[in-house]
């Protein structure tokens, strides 16, 4: 009875789609997690802003004569005194301050969205580099078969003086050059894999593959109106949150003109039995509208109002610049696509036919190996150029999407 085959211990590396990688980056990236923690810290700081100061308690003597003084009357002995004092902040001030501090968390969340968008663009570029490197390897491996065949033909013909020994060496050199190029692409793939793993907070050497059938598509927006860009772009949303936070800070500063309160209770126990126990209750109120006090918050409010105006101008300039940039990128991408289409549909087929004809003539011993190698190199170079242009196109698409949603 034949033995059952042992199960393979090696597990096939998973294939990750680009959207899966981006999703894992959003969930696992450590830098993105830090923004969430910072935003949460502002929530607790906002809660702390509504707290009151701790009460002050004191004990001592009151109107007690120094030792050695002559006491004319029992009531001159003084008193033991107990005091408690509490500051009572204005609740409108506290609530305004709470809202301002809590708004800082929204800025951190907006910063996280900007960082995530940058990481998405980085992941796309790495994924596209891997994709093109894989395609380069496929082209090089396919073209190597032709060169290996020509080397074998040269080796067969040489003993019959139908080829030169130099032809064998030249074919061998081209094969090794081709393999070195393959090794270079394998290094590029390993680098992309390691970087993508780091973005996903995974070990750098963790194996996985990519969807080699994936092709990024460029979909131009119908228009780039500044109102839509203001909604989509994360940096504009962050600026909006910064402006809103500053407006809340202005409201908080305006509350400074409102008074704060303090209450104090004093209890006195006389050191003489002839005097009764006594107490004192005092309420106090601040006067922030005094000219020497109001100058501070009035100047701060004016400074923040000017800062908001400056940020609004900066936001408008960013939107206008982005609009022009996106139109320019759209035209450049469309032009690049037409160039690649022409290379794939006209130039490469022509070079392929030249190569096929040269190889056929070579097999019939009507053409030298050097001429066939020239055709082979021209075809290989053009195929590599097309892939280089495709990589540029894919990276341009990634940059376009980054700018559209930055």
Residue 316: helix, strand or coil by DSSP? helix
Distance of CA 45 to the CA centre of its chain: 25
What is the rounded distance in angstroms from the CA atom of residue 254 to the CA atom of residue 101?
15
**What is each CA distance from 297 to 99, 258, 309, in whole angstroms?**
18, 11, 19
Residue 210: helix, strand or coil by DSSP? strand
Residue 282: helix, strand or coil by DSSP? strand
10 falls in which pLDDT band (50, 70, 90)? very low
What is the rounded distance in angstroms from the CA atom of residue 81 to the CA atom of residue 59?
6
In the chain, domain spans = 15-62+76-405
**CB-side neighbour CA atoms (13 Å) of 262:** 12
Contact at 8 Å (CB) between 405 and 232? Answer: yes
Quick one: CA dihedral 222, 224, 230, 232, positive or negative? positive
According to DSSP, residue 205 is labeled T
Residue 3's pLDDT is 45
Residue 165's pLDDT is 66
Residue 224's pLDDT is 78
Element (H, E) at 191: helix 165-199
* Length of the chain, in residues: 406
What is the model's pTM? 0.83
Q: 15-62+76-405: which CATH architecture? A: Up-down Bundle (1.20)
Residue 7's pLDDT is 42
Percent of the chain scoring above 90 in pLDDT: 41
Least confident of 208-217, 270-279, 306-315, 385-394: 270-279
| DSSP class per residue in 357-371 | HHHHHHHTT-S-HHH
CB under 8 Å to 172, separation ≥6 — which residues?
151
């Amino acid at each position: 009875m034949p033995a059952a085959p042992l199960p393979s211990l090696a597990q096939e590396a998973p294939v990750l789609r680009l959207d899966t990688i981006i999703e894992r980056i959003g969930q696992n990236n450590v830098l993105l997690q830090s923004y969430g923690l910072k935003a949460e810290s502002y929530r607790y700081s906002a809660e702390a802003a509504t707290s009151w100061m701790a009460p002050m308690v004191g004990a001592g003597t009151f109107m007690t004569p120094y030792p050695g003084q002559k006491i004319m009357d029992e009531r001159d002995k003084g008193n033991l005194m107990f005091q408690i004092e509490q500051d009572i902040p204005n609740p409108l001030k506290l609530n305004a301050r709470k809202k301002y501090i809590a708004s800082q968390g929204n800025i951190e969340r907006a910063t996280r969205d900007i960082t995530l968008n940058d990481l998405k663009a980085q992941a796309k570029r790495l994924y596209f580099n891997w994709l093109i490197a894989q395609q380069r390897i496929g082209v090089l491996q396919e073209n190597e078969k032709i060169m290996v065949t020509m080397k074998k033909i040269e080796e067969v013909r040489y003993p019959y003086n139908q080829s030169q020994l130099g032809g064998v060496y030249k074919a061998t050199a081209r094969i090794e050059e081709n393999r070195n190029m393959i090794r270079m692409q394998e290094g590029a793939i390993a680098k992309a894999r390691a970087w993508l793993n780091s973005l996903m907070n995974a070990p750098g050497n963790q194996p996985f593959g990519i969807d080699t059938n994936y092709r990024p598509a460029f979909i131009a927006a119908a228009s780039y109106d500044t109102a839509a860009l203001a909604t989509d772009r994360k940096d504009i949303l962050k600026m909006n949150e910064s402006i809103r936070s500053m407006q809340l800070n202005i409201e908080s500063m305006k509350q400074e003109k409102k008074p704060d309160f303090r209450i104090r209770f004093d209890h006195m126990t006389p050191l003489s039995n002839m005097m009764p126990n006594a107490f004192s209750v005092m309420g106090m109120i601040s006067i922030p509208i005094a000219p020497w006090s109001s100058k501070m918050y009035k100047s701060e409010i004016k400074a923040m109002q000017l800062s908001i105006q400056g940020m609004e101008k900066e936001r408008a300039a960013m939107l206008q610049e982005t609009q022009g940039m996106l139109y320019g990128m759209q035209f450049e991408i469309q032009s690049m696509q037409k160039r690649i289409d022409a290379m794939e549909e006209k130039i490469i087929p022509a070079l392929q036919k030249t190569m096929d004809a040269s190889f056929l003539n070579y097999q019939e011993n009507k053409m030298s190996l050097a001429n066939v190698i020239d055709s082979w190199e021209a075809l290989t170079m053009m195929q590599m150029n097309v892939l280089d242009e495709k990589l540029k196109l894919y990276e341009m698409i990634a940059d376009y999407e980054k700018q559209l949603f930055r």
